[in-house]
Amino acid sequence: MVKNMKDIYVKTLENSNALKEIYTDIKNGGNPILYGLNEDGFAFIASLIKNKFNKKVLIITYDDIRGSKINRKIKNFTEKSYQLKSKQFVLYGIEALSRDDMYSRINVMEQAVKNESSIFVASQKAITDRIMKKKRFKEFSLKLNMDSIVDIEELTGQLILMGYKRVSQVEGKGQFAVRGGIVDVFSPWEDNPYRIELFGDEIDSIRSFDFRSQRSIENIDECLIIPCCEILLKDDEIEVTKYNIKKDYQKLRKKNKNREKEENLKSVYSRMVEALDNRDYIDNAEFFSPYMPLEYSNFMDYFDKETIVIFDEPNRILKEDESRELEFNEKYTDLYEKKEVLTEHRKIYIDFNDILGEVKKNLRYLVYNSILKNNKTFEKNKKIYFEGREPRSYFGNIKELAADINKYKKEKFRIAISISSLEKGIKLFDDLKSLDCNIGVSGEGDTKIISSHAIITKGYIEKGIELPTEKFLFISENEIFGRIKKRKSKKRKSKGTKIETFTDLKIGDYVVHEYHGIGKYVGIDKIEIKEVTKDYLTIEYRENDKLYVPVDQMDLIQKYIGGDSEKPKINKMGGSEWKKTKEKAQKAIDDMTDELLELYAKRKSAEGYTFSEDSEWQKEFEEEFPYEETEDQLRCVEEIKNYHNAYYNKKIDNNMLQKMLDNIYNILYCPLKSVSLK
């Protein structure tokens, strides 16, 4: 069967009158409204537009959930599709925001910097988030190769300026370490960090390495180190920002007569200045943006005038923007009344309508609606109807499928069926043939289906589509064999529930502190130490002892994840109970380690049976499991296969054994910290 399923329906529909009309309108600046297609059809058309014009395509939708759904569907047609998620901006505070989402956005920004034909999906919120201008992003990016001359002190200063944190050993993205003439740096852009070895000021080698084992992976000729934050400040810009904050603070102090509010003002000012001095502002740069002496921008700055913009359900976009503006204003008004924000913080909000106006004025665009709606913003735009609907589902009833295919062939439809595996395709071919349904199997050279013909082609797509006007029917295996198993994205709890921000906690939640054990979270307190007021998470232990944890040390605590019906035993601060619990767990793991090492030493010397690689029949059998597997079930199945084959192929090593021990440890003794092999 043909390897590139996508070529078949691209070629089959290339002469579609509706598609030609869309292309012509875009080329001539007609900015049409497209309606009638379902989501999969819309994703398909978006990918065709990218391929036809070989330009960037930006899809603006109403929220991140919708954006994620569209992006996933587009990836069925093209790998070059990226979603820019919105910032989880906290107006209240400065610290305690996770950098994982920020690094994801930075990677999308880097993709947009490239002048490549790609699709980008962003919500109206993500579009209005403040980021540095494209020119500045490129200035803060650093490319090193074997011919580069490097001053290690200058490189260190530049990495700090780019938002990287200096550590003794790199353990995560956004970190760098310097040891003699060796510089390790983990760019958000990469899956593994770089190790740059210098001989004087010349680069002797560049290689990627595993930050867990510290072992080299491969030598490379050059590396790209991108910024670690969407907004970055140079040293002199930090001083100007501090000066601007001070002016606003002093102005508010003169007007304020309330002592409690005075303390709140002082706290906001002190925390902002401290964060700037420590370069911690990058965790919530938006909070500082009104005071920065630079021209910041938004995601639209990363696209040139050749970009094609698609507004997905514009009425929903505008409605979401109105709700966002109302929510921001209410929050700001409340905090300003308490003097927990400053005056200029009201300028953080950017009105999406300003961006909408710029797009309509300067860029080519089209509008997508699933059904025709009254779009006040685009009421004069030309409307193009592209009829599309979902095929029926057969739930494994091949007899009905055969009857429908024969019916569609009589109506001169072109029919394509996508099947993910060769074996499953051959079986379906035989079953249909036995029911007097003649169907072809696409070959390597086939790129087009002719009228009144049906073919089976290898590939996967989530849902099919029927285009009555174009006489084209595309059926996915999900429609043939049953419903799609939707996997809910759940947070894994193997090591306790990670706390990203203090808003993840509710008063009364049980938490586990790395050094003090199980306690109860009772809220946030503001505590002044050396004239600096900061937020502290308050954890209550036995005998009403309280522990105050700075919000920037939240990595020391995790949510307790025991059974919902059982209340855990709260530990006593300063007691030996928690220490004994950890020592007991450590001893149990050490004993298990000895047993496992002895067991696998015997296995390595014994004759064994290696499982063969999963066949297509095995995959088909697994796919037909009627229930939704949990993440842990899927992980265990995969690990059992990998470990079994590794041991009998003599490929087991301590890293693999450590991984398995960690998993066992986390199940038995969660949420204690993982241990190491002896």
What pLDDT digit, counting tens, does each position of 107-149 carry? Answer: 999 999 987 899 999 999 999 998 999 999 999 999 999 999 9
Most confidently predicted of 26-40, 298-312, 517-531, 652-666: 298-312
Class of domain 502-575: mainly beta
* Residue 668 scores a pLDDT above 70: no
Query: Residue 489's pLDDT is what?
Result: 43
- Give the least confident one: 5-9, 590-594, 649-653: 649-653
Query: Residue 670's pLDDT is what?
Result: 47
Query: Residue 98's pLDDT is what?
Result: 62
Report the alpha-carbon distance of residue 305 to residue 650 in Å, rounded. Answer: 57
Residues 559-587 have a mean pLDDT of 73
| Domain 5-129+296-385 and domain 398-481 have a common topology | yes
* Residue 606 scores a pLDDT above 90: no
Residues 280-300 have a mean pLDDT of 85
Indicate the average pLDDT of the chain.
82
Report the alpha-carbon distance of residue 548 to residue 544 in Å, rounded. Answer: 13
Q: What would be the CATH architecture of the domain defined by 5-129+296-385?
A: 3-Layer(aba) Sandwich (3.40)
Segment 347-356, tens digit of pLDDT: 888 889 889 9
**With pLDDT > 90 as the criterion, what percentage of the chain qualifies?**
34
* Residue 493 scores a pLDDT above 50: no
* Residue 324 scores a pLDDT above 80: yes
* Residue 672 scores a pLDDT above 70: no
The CB density around residue 440, as the number of other CB atoms within 10 Å, is 14
Model pTM above 0.85 = no
Task: Parse the chain into domains and list their residue ranges.
Answer: 5-129+296-385, 142-225, 398-481, 502-575, 578-669
Residues 538-547 have a mean pLDDT of 85
Out of 3.30.479.30, 3.40.50.720, 3.30.70.20, 3.30.2060.10, the CATH code matching 142-225 is 3.30.2060.10
Report the alpha-carbon distance of residue 453 to residue 459 in Å, rounded. Answer: 19
- Give the least confident one: 265-274, 312-321, 450-459: 450-459
Residues in CB range of 202: below 8 A, 6 or more apart: 149, 150
The answer as to CATH 3.30.428.10 being correct for domain 398-481 is no
Residues in CB range of 582: below 8 A, 6 or more apart: 672, 673
Q: pLDDT band at residue 656, thresholds of 50, 70 and 90? A: low
* Residue 96 scores a pLDDT above 60: no
List for the chain the helix, strand, coil content (%; round to 5).
45, 20, 35
Query: Residue 560's pLDDT is what?
Result: 79
Query: Residue 533's pLDDT is what?
Result: 67
Query: Residue 492's pLDDT is what?
Result: 42
Q: pLDDT band at residue 508, thresholds of 50, 70 and 90? A: confident
Report the alpha-carbon distance of residue 16 to residue 36 in Å, rounded. Answer: 15
- Give the least confident one: 12-16, 320-324, 376-380, 430-434: 12-16
Q: pLDDT band at residue 93, thresholds of 50, 70 and 90? A: low
